[in-house]
Structure 1
Amino acid sequence: MSPNGQNEARSAETGAASSKTALFILAITYWLYFGQLGVLVPYLGIFLDGRGFSSAEIGELFAVITLARILGPGLWAGVADKTGNAIGVMRLGCFLTVLTFSSVFYFTSFWGLTLAFGLMMMFWTAVLPQLEVITMNTVAKTKATYGQIRLWGSVGFICMTVGVGKALDIFSTDTPVHASVGVLALLFISTLFIRAPKEAAPEVSAAGSIWRYAKQKPFAIFIFASACLQISFGAYYGFFALYMRDLEYSGQQTGIFIALGVLAEVGIFLIARRLISQFGVWNLLFVSIALTGLRWYVMAAFADTFMVIVLSQLIHALSFGLTHAVSVHFIHQFLPKAYHSRGQAVYISVAFGLGGAFGNYMAGQQWQQGTNAYETFFTAAVFAIVGALSLLLCSKKDMDESKAV
């Protein structure tokens, strides 16, 4: 082989090794990011209940801190898109998240904890939109898929949910916040090793506000349906663990139930790209959101049956896993490259922020220490069905094939 040929071969091997390292670090980062959610999403209600808060106060606190997801994503993504320094924004967000979250150890009042969690959430929103964009750009240069990397987030969620669930049977209700600080610190460290692929200069024609694209019909309907879906999740995120406790399941069993749903996500992420290619964005969103409505209804009416809980949790693969993979794909293909971070931010701030806050508040007002469990989950079912039906206002072709103009 000629010297030039040897150099090219070595360069190719180095590039392949570098790509594998980059994918490995991204996988670890997803593991930690969603591992943190595996601690707080199921068990924050347990922590707050242990601090003596009522169900209405828990719902209100969830709603207030979720509101931080409305302003935060757009602010951080705008900085990332305009500076081209998505990694810097992500690292800063992780560092400030650890710093502000640690203050929960010094607050005991409702407003003190609300401030601590609200600030934490504001900085937390800097992480995921940038991570999603970096991952999509990285896998585009490899044979890997987004789903193959993202599934490690689900694995992290499972591990932390089961582990903290078991720990709650042994230690105090403060266990979730202790675990969270450790995971958040490791998350910040992992971001220090991420290297973004080199990208071409942003498109000059893409200058302007994200809202000129967001108000177009396919995107607007997609956001509305996503918001309805997240409203419906308010009952689950805020009160599922307390619901299971009221039904006399142990903390470990509750963790296993939650982990079962996330385990189902892993399988979906492995085949998500194939499903999107075969069935398209519209079909997958409609079926997934509609089945989520069914999921909440059976939880409302038949939660005293073990197998109903198991089947309900398996639908989580569609409720969250497939809808999220399809949503990331839709945003990436619908918007110009220079708007990818801001597109993800709109999705997170409106659907997860505004929708999630309303869903949490509403569920908290309905729950009444568990006496209105049926009404709470039935309302969730109604919102999911409304979200599915709203997709009928947009044709399959518009959502699957059109691009923002």
Structure 2
Amino acid sequence: MPIAFKLAGFYFCYYAIVGTFLPYWSLYLEHENFSHFEIGLLSTIAILTRFVAPFVWGWLADRTGKRMVWIRLATFVEAGVWLTIFFISKNFQTIAIIMLIFSFFQNAILAQFEGVTLFWLGEKRQQLYGKVRKWGSIGFIAGVFIIGLILQHVSISMLPILLLVIAIFAFIWSFSIAEPENAPSAQQQLEPILPILKRPVVASFLVIEFILLFSHAPFYSFYSNYLQQAGYNTAQIGFLWSTGVVAEIIMFAIANYFFQRFSWRSLIILCLLLTAVRWFMVGLFPQFFVLQFLAQCIHAFSFGLFHLIAMRIIFQNFSARQQGRGQALYSMMWGLGVASGSVLAGRYWDMLSGEIIFMLAGLASLLGLFWVMGLPKTIQKAG
């Protein structure tokens, strides 16, 4: 079985979990009578671990030279979490603990698996990464769309069972992937990354990432609730979530067109501007399905293209022995941005309304434009 197929299969499983969790977890919590403020706090707990966990796992991966071992452990614990939820009382404290454990191990997976993938693909990573990574997007669509259809016929209270089944499959599939042959072995003394963080391109990019993901927080935490309040059913909600990921897949296929013609600076400016347009459309036109569909298509830029730029920046600026922590840093800034935005969105959702929150998110994304000067204004060679 080709390694690209194995890698693609794990991306599929991982993002099937994300596609099952992300759109429907807030609906599950609402079904369990949690308030919007509590949902925002629980979303923040789940996301805040992305501020700490990736560095813990990145340090372990770089120190031990073992990445798949930690990924397997994480998927095993993740499955255990969804089994445990049936044996506990569902109050704020217990669900908070569940979210803390789940997210701590869930956030161990992606940053390290990105490194595993890049090491396995080696010199072919520029040609093959998008083709492999798109299967994560396909997995997300499968999770969103199939689970949305299932939830049309069963209670949302069954969501943890569906997550348990997918997590078990991800754990089993992880054993098909060996440690990358060309990855660095265990390191007694880790190479410092502070000098890398002082580079203008890295520092500027991380600030922009925080701002961009801060603006995404209402979407990740409350978009499903927002659509449900506007009269959409779970199948329609699933379709709209899937639309964004289809757009992302298309971007993975055509991204080289942009990279060959435009600088990172120009592309990130485009991502920020289109993200602002996206949130304005979501906030201003919740009742118009077609406009929500078009807003979701912009996900190709607000996440897809931005993520591909991130992978290039990390692989070009962090050495092979720093990749675990470099990927962890990217994941950490993602979590910090979404977590802080989720707290604010949950706090003011009922006070201001979802429409106003999304329009404020659009304004927030434009703040990233102040930091683009640190990015290269010339086209970057493939790294």
**Is the aligned partner of 1:380 residue 2:361?**
yes
Deviates more, 1:129-138 or 1:28-37: 129-138
Rounded to whole Å, the distance in 2 between the matches of 1:231 and 1:200 is: 33
Query: For residue 33 of structure 1, what is the aligned residue in structure 2?
Result: 14
Pair 1:318–1:225, CA change in 2 (3 A): same
Task: Report the residue type matching 1:110 in the other structure.
Answer: F
**1:121 aligned to which of 103, 120, 137:** 103
Query: For residue 186 of structure 1, what is the aligned residue in structure 2?
Result: 169
**Is the aligned partner of 1:67 residue 2:29?**
no
Rounded to whole Å, the distance in 2 between the matches of 1:274 and 1:198 is: 31
TM-score relative to the length of structure 2: 0.93
Query: For residue 143 of structure 2, what is the aligned residue in structure 1?
Result: 160
Rounded to whole Å, the distance in 1 between the matches of 2:295 and 2:2 is: 37
Query: For residue 69 of structure 2, what is the aligned residue in structure 1?
Result: 88
Deviations 1:257-315 (A, max 9, x none): 11111111111111224432332322222211221011001111122222210110100
Deviations 1:38-90 (A, max 9, x none): 01111111000000011111001111221111110001111111211111121
Note the aligned Cα RMSD (angstroms): 2.3
**1:102 aligned to which of 83, 93, 104:** 83
Rounded to whole Å, the distance in 1 between the matches of 2:96 and 2:256 is: 39
**Is the aligned partner of 1:173 residue 2:159?**
no
1:188-207 matched pairs, under 5 angstroms: 188-199=171-182, 201=184, 207=190
TM-score relative to the length of structure 1: 0.89
**Is the aligned partner of 1:139 residue 2:132?**
no
Matched-pair contact (CA < 8 Å) for 1:366–1:375 = no
Give SS of 1:140's match: helix
Task: Report the residue type matching 2:303 in the other structure.
Answer: F
How many residues are treated as equivalent by the alignment? 381
Rounded to whole Å, the distance in 2 between the matches of 1:200 and 1:32 is: 23
**1:366 aligned to which of 348, 360, 381:** 348
Task: Report the residue type matching 1:63 in the other structure.
Answer: T
Deviations 1:309-345 (A, max 9, x none): 0110100111111111111111011111111111010
Gaps of 5+ in 1: 1-19
Deviation at 1:239, TM superposition (A): 1.2
**Is the aligned partner of 1:245 residue 2:228?**
yes
Query: For residue 13 of structure 1, what is the aligned residue in structure 2?
Result: none
Rounded to whole Å, the distance in 1 between the matches of 2:311 and 2:193 is: 16
Matched-pair contact (CA < 8 Å) for 1:297–1:378 = yes
Query: For residue 23 of structure 1, what is the aligned residue in structure 2?
Result: 4
Query: For residue 304 of structure 1, what is the aligned residue in structure 2?
Result: 287
Gaps of 5+ in 2: none
Query: For residue 238 of structure 2, what is the aligned residue in structure 1?
Result: 255
Rounded to whole Å, the distance in 1 between the matches of 2:380 and 2:6 is: 32
Matched-pair contact (CA < 8 Å) for 2:40–2:221 = yes
Pair 1:158–1:54, CA change in 2 (3 A): same
Q: Of the two, which has the highest radius of gyration?
A: 1
Pair 1:175–1:332, CA change in 2 (3 A): same
